Chain A
Amino acid sequence: MAANPMSQFEVYSIGPKIQIGSFDLSFTNSSLFMVLTVIVISLFFIVATQKKSLVPNKMQLIAEMAFEFVSKMISETAGKDARPYFPFILSLFLFVLVANLLGMLPYSFTVTSHIIVTFALAFFIFIGVTVVGFAKHGISYLKLFVPSGVPIFLLPLIIVIEVISYLSRPVSLSVRLFANMMAGHTMLKVFGGFVVSLGILGGWLPLGLTGLELLVAFIQAYVFAILTCIYLNDALNLHH
């Protein structure tokens, strides 16, 4: 096992090198774990919803809980109009959650610890929400940048501030997820290196960090999904 705590984040290609133009499109360990995440989610839901009994067994219960959790989150933060986006939010939440949790397994790779992955997700959400906003409200969606009750001579400054605030959304969304995952995994690795020198009794202490990291994995997936809901709410219900 490599002693360097950062070596777990290395991306290397698996299989043949595929080069199209100046892009390296080889299949990497990162892509492998993204595929694995999707497979795990799909398999779980296929198996869990096979029986559809009135009194659910454990797997069906977990599937229903995930379903209800996201459904409640959407209705609480984004309201009724956001119902059509339920499948998107559910898949987003599950993808981030399962990618985080798969990363907790020893020797695995955490997809969400790379900013390019989280930024791609966040940027896609940003574009999607903007398109939804313009589709629903037309050009009056730009009113989002003009809060009511502002003196006219302050307006140019306020509009610039609002635009910056809007543009900073995908950055803050992606940086938060990536920073939490990377910092957490680096910390786990560093403390993991202390296990042997701490002895039989003290060596169990870093195990607490694993629990904390599991909590962070869940919270970050939750925050990612709930912020998407909040942005969607801003786009659907203009109330500035």
Chain B
Amino acid sequence: MKDIKELDSKIKDLSKKTRKVESESSSNSSLGMAMKLSSEMVAAVFVASLIGYYLDKWLETEPFFLIFLFFLGAVTGILNVVRTSKMINKE
């Protein structure tokens, strides 16, 4: 009987420890998510500007699409950041 009780307390201790580890890992992933935000914004502007540049080259409308899509890219970047932070909040 005593052995079982001892074992029980041991298991409880161990499960407490694992729970601690779990909470640590979730804070790690939020650091990862924070890193996600910055690149998300830059990437959208970059991709949109690139599309604009090649559209201009193709249609010979320089620099209309480059400027237009640059701003649209900035909008997209902000939208992406808002979405990502919403997702983090939901978690």
Which A residues form the contact surface with B (CB < 8 A)? 157, 160-161, 164-165, 167-169, 171-172, 175-176, 179-180, 215, 218-220, 222-223, 226-227
- Residue contact B46 to A171, C-beta cutoff 8 Å: yes
In the complex, B66 has a CB within 8 A of chain A = no
Q: Are A220 and B80 in contact (CB under 8 A)?
A: no
- On chain A, the residues within 8 Å of B32 by CB distance are 219-220, 222-223, 226
B40 touches A172 (CB 8 A): yes
A72–B48 alpha-carbon span in the complex (Å): 35
Inside 8 A of A167's CB, which chain B residues have their CB?
47, 51
Question: A222 vs B29: C-alpha distance in the bound complex, in angstroms?
Answer: 8
Contacts A172-B39, A176-B35, A219-B35: A226 and B29 contacting too (C-beta < 8 A)? yes
| Contact across chains for B28 and A168 when beta carbons are under 8 A apart | no
Q: Give 5 A-B pairs besides A161-B76, A171-B46 with Cβ atoms closer than 8 angstroms.
A: A176-B36, A219-B31, A219-B35, A220-B35, A222-B32
B42 at the interface (CB under 8 A from A): yes
CA distance A160 to B69 in the complex (A): 9
Instruction: For A179, list chain B residues within 8 Å (CB).
Output: 39
**Closest Cβ of chain B: how far from A75's Cβ, in Å?**
14
Rounded to whole Å, the gap between the CB of A56 and the closest CB of chain B is 15
CB-defined interface of B44-60 with A at 8 Å, one 1/0 digit per residue?
Answer: 10111001000000000
Contacts of A218 in B (CB 8 A): 28
Chain B: minimal CB distance from A195 (Å): 27
What residues on A are CB-neighbors of B75 within 8 Å? 161
List of B residues within 8 angstroms of A180 by Cβ: 35
Q: B36 — which chain A residues lie within 8 A by C-beta?
A: 172, 176, 223, 227
**Which A residues are CB-close (under 8 A) to B77?**
168
* A to B CB contacts below 8 Å, 20 in the list: A161-B76, A161-B79, A164-B47, A164-B72, A164-B73, A164-B76, A165-B44, A165-B76, A165-B79, A167-B51, A168-B40, A171-B43, A171-B46, A172-B42, A219-B32, A219-B35, A220-B32, A222-B29, A223-B32, A223-B33
Which listed residue (A165, A175, A215) contacts B80, Cβ 8 A?
A165
Give CA–CA (A220, B48) in the complex, Å.
25
